């Protein structure tokens, strides 16, 4: 089934160019020229919701960051921010409220298509495995257990103590990357390769923003971390020890 991409930009020419390149690569494309229309399409419940939105920050009514904030309150839709603002603070603010990636204008349409493919690939790779009705689920469940933290990879569920934790798709994938190799130090480049993919284009500091969001979700104090530690000048590592084999 063709993936559906929503292109949100107030400049019709940009929408036209991106539509042409995306459709040439097999995507279904819809458009929105305002934040209000983008929000309607991104939160629709009639089965027409896109798989990913290319969301311009500088929209005339609701800016892209506000649209993203509202979408994130009710959806895990993949969002790539498109911005003409080159200051790093704008990029980090956008990523801190749940963007999966960002692209700075001017951009190459081919690069945009490559970014879209990379982000959407994460959803395909995160899909639940086929279930054999003749096999006891308890014997095949892929569960990682640590003191105060349980990660069910098949159900994509995380609990701390007995409380469920809500994570974005990317935050969950990042947590699993750490939890599958406790104690290993990952550089930013290694995490980008492992979670985002080999063909990631962008700033390695995107990792720092998502680590910050993940720590917040896990109530992990960065000044005295229990789950994810910072190795100064190198990267990050998972601090907890496994408790028994996966069930």
Distance CA 122, CA 125 (A): 5
The residue with greater pLDDT, 65 or 45, is 65
| 8 Å CB contact between 167 and 214 | yes
Cβ partners under 8 Å of residue 26, min gap 6: 2
Residues 115 and 163 in one domain: no
Residue in this structure with the two tokens 């469940």, named with its chain if needed: 141
For 70-117, write each residue's pLDDT tens digit: 998 888 889 999 988 766 556 666 667 778 888 888 888 988 998 899
Predicted pLDDT of residue 138: 42
Domain boundary among 79, 100, 125: 125
Looking at per-residue pLDDT, the higher value among 106 and 135 belongs to: 106
Tell me if 141 is assigned to some domain: yes
Q: Is residue 244 part of a domain?
A: no
Cβ neighbours of 5 (radius 10 Å): 26
Q: 77 and 167: one domain?
A: no
- 104 located within any domain: yes
Q: Quote the percentage of the chain above a pLDDT of 70.
A: 82
Its sign, for the CA torsion 56, 62, 63, 66, is negative
* Residue 37, domain CATH: 3.40.50.2300
185-187 β-sheet, strand order: 185-187, 235-238, 228-231
Domain assignment present for 60: yes
Nearest residue to 148 (alpha-carbon basis) of 218, 84, 59: 218
Same domain, 8 and 117: yes
168 belongs to a structural domain: yes
Last residue of a domain, one of 105, 125, 145: 125
pLDDT at 130: 43
User: How many separate helices (H) and strands (E) can be counted in the chain?
Assistant: 9, 12
What is the domain extent for residue 70?
Answer: 4-125
Residues 114, 11, single domain; the answer is yes
* Residue 36 domain flag: yes
E strand or H helix that includes residue 14: helix 12-24
Q: Judge if 74 and 43 occupy the same domain.
A: yes
Asked if 49 and 112 sit in the same domain, the reply is yes
Q: Does a structural domain hold residue 130?
A: no
Tell me, yes or no, whether 155 and 121 share the same domain.
Answer: no
Say if residue 13 is in the same domain as residue 118.
Answer: yes
Say yes or no: 101 and 61 in one domain. Answer: yes
Distance of CA 19 to the CA centre of its chain: 23
**pLDDT at residue 183 in the model:** 94
List the one residue out of 114, 101, 130, 116 whose CA is nearest residue 206. 101
Residues 109 and 207 in one domain: no
The pLDDT tens digits of the residues spanning 152-185 come to: 988 889 999 878 998 877 888 899 999 999 999 9
Q: What is the mean pLDDT of the chain?
A: 84
Alpha-carbon separation of residue 8 from 22, 79, 109, 142 (angstroms): 13, 11, 14, 38
Do both 114 and 151 map to the same domain?
Answer: no
162/109 same-domain check: no
pLDDT attached to residue 204? 75
């Amino acid at each position: 089934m063709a993936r559906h991409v929503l292109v949100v930009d107030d400049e019709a020419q940009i929408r036209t160019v991106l539509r042409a390149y995306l459709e040439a690569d097999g995507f279904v494309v819809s458009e929105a020229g305002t934040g209000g229309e983008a929000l309607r399409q991104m939160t629709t419940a009639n089965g027409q919701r896109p798989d990913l939105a290319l969301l311009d920050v500088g929209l005339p009514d609701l800016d892209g960051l506000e649209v993203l904030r509202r979408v994130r309150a009710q959806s895990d839709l993949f969002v790539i921010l498109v911005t003409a603002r080159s200051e790093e603070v704008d990029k980090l603010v956008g990523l801190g409220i749940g963007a999966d990636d960002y692209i700075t204008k001017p951009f190459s349409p081919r690069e945009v298509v490559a970014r879209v493919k990379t982000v959407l690939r994460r959803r395909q790779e995160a899909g639940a495995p086929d279930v054999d009705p003749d096999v006891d689920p308890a014997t095949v469940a892929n569960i990682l257990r640590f003191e105060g933290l349980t990660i069910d990879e098949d159900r994509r569920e995380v609990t701390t103590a007995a409380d469920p934790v809500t994570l974005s798709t990317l935050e969950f994938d990042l947590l699993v990357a750490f939890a599958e190799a406790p104690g290993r130090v990952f550089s930013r480049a290694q995490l980008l390769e492992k979670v985002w993919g080999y063909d990631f284009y962008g700033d390695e500091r995107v990792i720092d923003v998502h680590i910050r969001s993940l720590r917040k979700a896990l109530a992990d104090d960065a000044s005295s971390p229990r789950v994810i530690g910072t190795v100064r000048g190198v990267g990050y590592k998972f601090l907890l020890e496994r408790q028994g084999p996966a069930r």
